[in-house]
A and B are shown apart, each in its own frame.
Chain A
Amino acid sequence: MIKPEETMDATRLDEPIVQVDNLVVSFGKQHVLNGLSFSIARGQTLAIIGESGCGKTVLLKSLVGLIQPTAGGVQLAGADIATISSQALAELRTRTGFVFQQAALFDSMTVRENIAFPLSFNELGDENIEERSHQLLTELGLDPSISNRYPGELSGGMRKRVGMARALMMRPELLLYDEPTTGLDPIVSDVINELILRTRINHFVTSIIVTHDMKTVRKTADRVMMLLPFSQLSEGENQIIFDGPPSELDRTDDMRVQQFVRGDAGDRIAASTSNNSFIDGEWK
Chain B
Amino acid sequence: MLCAECAPVITSLFLKLLGQMASGTVQTSNPSSRPTVLVQMANALYALGNFTVFCFKSISSLTTKGVQRGTLLPAAYQIGVQSIPVVALTGLFIGMVLAVQSYFQFHQLGMENRMGAMINITLVRELGPVLAATMLAGRIGSAIAAELGTMRVSEQIDAIDSMGISPIRYLVVPRVTACLFLVPALTIVADLVGVAGGFLYSSLALNIDAAQYFYNSKEYVTGFDLATGIIKSVFFGISIGLISCYHGFHCRVGARGVGRAATGAFVSAFVIILLLDLLLGIALDTIYFQFNPGGNSLL
Residues in chain A within 8 A of chain B (CB atoms): 28-29, 61, 64, 66, 86, 89-94, 96, 98, 100-102, 104-107, 117-118, 120-123, 170
The answer on a CB contact under 8 Å between B163 and A118 is yes
The one of A89, A90, A104 in contact with B158, judged by C-beta atoms closer than 8 angstroms, is A104
Residues A92 and B164 in contact in the complex (CB < 8 Å), given A101-B155, A102-B154, A104-B155: yes
The answer to whether A90 touches B162 (Cβ under 8 A) is: no
A104 and B159 form a contact (CB under 8 A): yes
Report B122-162 CB contacts with A as 1/0, cut-off 8 Å.
00000000000000000000000000000100111011011
Contact A29 B27, beta carbon cutoff 8 Å: yes
Q: How many A-B residue pairs have CB under 8 A?
A: 58
Taking A61-B158, A93-B162, A105-B156 as known contacts, 13 extra A-B pairs with beta carbons closer than 8 A to each other, sorted by chain A number, are A91-B164, A92-B164, A93-B163, A94-B163, A96-B162, A100-B158, A104-B159, A106-B151, A117-B163, A118-B164, A121-B163, A121-B165, A170-B163
Contact present for A90 and B159 (CB under 8 Å): no
For the complex, give the distance between the alpha carbons of A120 and B170 in Å.
12
Are A98 and B159 in contact, with the CB atoms below 8 A? yes
Q: Does B68 lie at the interface of the complex (its beta carbon under 8 Å from any beta carbon of A)? A: yes
Name B16-32 residues within 8 Å CB distance of A.
Answer: 20, 23-24, 27
> How distant is the Cα of A118 from the Cα of B161 in the complex, in angstroms?
10
CA distance A10 to B163 in the complex (A): 23
Chain A: CB-nearest residue to B159 = A104
B166 at the interface (CB under 8 A from A): yes
A122 vs B169: C-alpha distance when bound (angstroms): 12
Interface centre among B20, B69, B162 (most CB of A within 10 A): B162
| Contact across chains for A93 and B155 when beta carbons are under 8 A apart | no
**Residue on A nearest B24 in the bound complex, by CB:** A29
B154 neighbours in A (Cβ, 8 Å)? 102, 104
Contact of A122 with B158 at beta-carbon distance under 8 Å, contacts A28-B20, A29-B27 already known: no
Structural contact, B20 and A100, CB atoms closer than 8 A: no
| Set A29, A90, A96: member contacting B166, Cβ < 8 A | A90
Given the complex, which residues of B lie within 8 Å of A66, measured CB to CB? 158, 161-162
> Which chain B residue lies CB-closest to A66?
B158
- Residue in A61, A93, A106, A122 whose CB lies within 8 Å of B156: A106
CA–CA, A152 to B165, complex, Å? 24
Main secondary structure of the interface of B (DSSP, over half): helix
Residues of B within 8 A of A61 (CB): 158
Report how far A183 CA is from B298 CA in the complex, Å.
Answer: 72
- Within the complex, which residue of A28, A90, A96 is in contact with B165, where a contact is CB–CB below 8 Å? A90
Residues on B with C-beta less than 8 A from A120 are 70
Query: Which interface residue of A64, A104, A105, A123 has the most chain B CB atoms within 10 A?
Result: A104
Query: Among the interface residues A29, A89, A120, A170, which one has the most CB atoms of the partner chain B within 10 A?
Result: A29
The answer for the CA separation of A19 and B159 in the assembled complex, in Å, is 22
Q: Who on chain B is nearest to A169 by CB?
A: B163
* Set of chain B residues within 8 Å of A94, measured between Cβ atoms: 163-164
Q: How far is the CB of B25 from chain A (nearest CB, A)?
A: 13
How near does chain B come to A98, taking the closest CB pair, in angstroms?
A: 4
Report the bound CA distance from A104 to B20 in whole Å: 32
Report A-chain residues with C-beta under 8 Å of the C-beta of B151. 106
CB-CB under 8 A from B158, the residues of chain A are 61, 66, 98, 100, 104
**Are A122's CB and B163's CB within 8 A?**
yes
Per the bound structure, the CA–CA distance linking A104 and B159 in Å amounts to 7
Nearest CB to that of A163 among chain B residues? B159
**Complexed CA–CA distance, A118 and B163 (Å):** 6
| Residues of chain B contacted by A28 (CB below 8 angstroms) | 20, 23
Q: Which residues of B contact A117 (CB under 8 A)?
A: 163
Contacts of A106 in B (CB 8 A): 151, 156, 159
Task: Enumerate B36-87 residues with CB–CB distance to A below 8 Å.
Answer: 68-70
Q: Which of B20, B164, B170 contacts A93 (CB 8 A)?
A: B164
B residues within 8 A CB of A123?
Answer: 69
Question: Across the interface, which residues of A come within 8 angstroms of B23, CB to CB?
Answer: 28
In the complex, residue of chain B having the shortest beta-carbon distance to the beta carbon of A91? B164
For residue A19, give the distance in angstroms from its CB to the closest CB of chain B.
19
CB distance from B16 to the nearest CB of A (A): 10
Q: Which residues of B contact A100 (CB under 8 A)?
A: 155, 158-159
